[in-house]
């Protein structure tokens, strides 16, 4: 989990839409949108962490299929309709709320509602569907950064192509997650460390929340920093360079 948290700042850049991706969309066809959707899901650390929490204690294929289908239905609805009708919001705030969904799942998996509030957990299927709608809106805010064209039919096909790619990436990620968890459940360490794993999941959500709120502050009120914005940007870049240098030295 410590390694994951150290890697998240770098992964955050992969989660966005790069200039190279924008140009590739202009130059390519629908297959490019499928590829971008798949890569976006596979580098979407917030989506993957939430899914990891959802399937953590699911032991049967039927249960995994049920919850994943509900989540998929939710994010397909908002991804397609919000993008097509150009409904958007500040993507930092959307991703901050998505981070809360990660905190929620880690908290719920550890029996937080029972221990803290002395109540049953809210209906999990409904919660997964609701968070699926939210995650789809987050995907939509990213997709709307791309040139989708003015022709309604072509735009719809690009949206659907991106969505197909998202589902491909999700299936690939879930295959690995479910396989790893199925193997781990056979080990005595699973029940010994499951609480710690979900606590780490919640902490990762907290980290993501503050990271997105930090990005929102940059985006909306950059002059409020105590030193020039450009200098603040360089500090972030220097930190990433230092991490890369340290990683290289450690590798050697």
Give the model's pLDDT for residue 11: 40
Give the model's pLDDT for residue 218: 85
Question: Which candidate, 178, 173, 131, places its Cα nearest to that of 45?
Answer: 173
Give the model's pLDDT for residue 17: 57
| CA 195/CA 226 separation, integer angstroms | 40
Residue with tokens 């990620």: 173
What are the per-10-residue average pLDDT scores of the chain (252 residues)?
Answer: 43 52 69 89 93 96 95 96 94 95 97 95 96 96 83 90 95 96 93 94 96 89 59 54 51 51
Question: Is residue 205 within 8 Å of residue 108, measured between CB atoms?
Answer: no
| CA 131/CA 113 separation, integer angstroms | 18
Give the model's pLDDT for residue 125: 95
Return the domain boundaries, the chain. 28-243
Is the entire prediction scored with pTM above 0.95? no
How far is CA 58 from its chain centroid? 20
HEC profile of 55-112: HCCCCCHHHHHHHHHHHHHHHHHHHHHHHHCCCCCCHHHHHHHHHHHHHHHHHHHCCH
- Interacting residues of 204 by C-beta distance below 8 A, sequence separation 6+: 1, 4, 5, 8, 49, 102, 106
């Amino acid at each position: 989990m410590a390694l994951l948290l150290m890697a998240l700042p770098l992964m955050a850049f992969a989660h966005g839409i790069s200039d190279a991706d924008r140009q590739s969309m202009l130059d390519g066809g629908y297959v490019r949108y499928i590829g971008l959707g798949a890569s976006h899901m596979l580098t979407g650390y917030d989506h993957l962490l939430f899914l990891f929490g959802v399937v953590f204690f699911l032991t049967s294929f039927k249960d995994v299929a049920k919850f994943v289908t509900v989540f998929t239905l939710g994010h397909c609805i908002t991804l397609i309709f919000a993008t097509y009708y150009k409904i958007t919001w500040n993507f930092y705030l959307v991703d901050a709320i998505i981070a809360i969904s990660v905190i929620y799942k880690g908290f719920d998996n550890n029996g937080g509602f029972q221990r803290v509030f002395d109540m049953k957990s809210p209906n999990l299927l409904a919660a997964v569907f609701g968070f699926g709608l939210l995650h789809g809106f987050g995907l939509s805010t990213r997709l709307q950064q791309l040139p989708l064209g003015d022709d309604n039919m072509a735009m719809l096909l690009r949206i659907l192509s991106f969505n197909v790619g998202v589902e491909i990436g999700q299936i690939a990620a879930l295959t690995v997650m479910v396989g790893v968890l199925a193997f781990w459940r056979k080990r005595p360490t699973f029940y010994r460390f499951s609480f710690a794993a979900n606590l780490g999941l919640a902490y990762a959500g907290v980290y993501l929340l503050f990271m997105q709120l930090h990005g929102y502050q940059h985006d909306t009120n950059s002059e409020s920093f105590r030193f020039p914005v450009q200098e603040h940007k360089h500090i972030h870049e220097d930190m990433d360079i230092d991490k890369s240098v340290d990683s290289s030295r450690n590798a050697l």
